[in-house]
Amino acid sequence: MFLQFIRDQVDNVTATVGQQQQVTSNVLDQIKGFVPKVQSAWIGGDADEFAADVARKLVPAMMELIAAIGGINLNLGKATGIVDQADSKAKGMADNLGELFSQI
């Protein structure tokens, strides 16, 4: 019953986290799009190393961040399910107790 009181807030957090995951994914797409532009404008032989560094270091780190943000909603969903199960179990126990008292 506790989570029912804050269900709207939980839903808002879930939506916000989902939006942040999308924003982060869009940032990664923009970074990937800048790499060829930087390479074409770069004077010197380090342009390919720059692209390799982005692919080797930055892209995996961004992918980890995107997954971590997604994990928030995954774990929040699991926690919500656990609380819902507990609420249901507590309601069932209260109903049984009420039935028992009504027989006295």
Q: What is the pLDDT of residues 57-91, one digit of tens each?
A: 999 999 999 999 999 999 999 988 888 888 888 88
Provide the greatest CA pair distance for the chain.
91
Q: 2-102 — its CATH code? A: 1.10.287
Which single residue is written with the structure tokens 């720059």?
50
Interatomic CA distance for residues 63 and 75, integer angstroms: 18
Cα three-residue angle 83-84-85, rounded to 5 degrees: 90
Threshold 0.85, pTM exceeds: no
Give the residue extent of every domain in the chain. 2-102
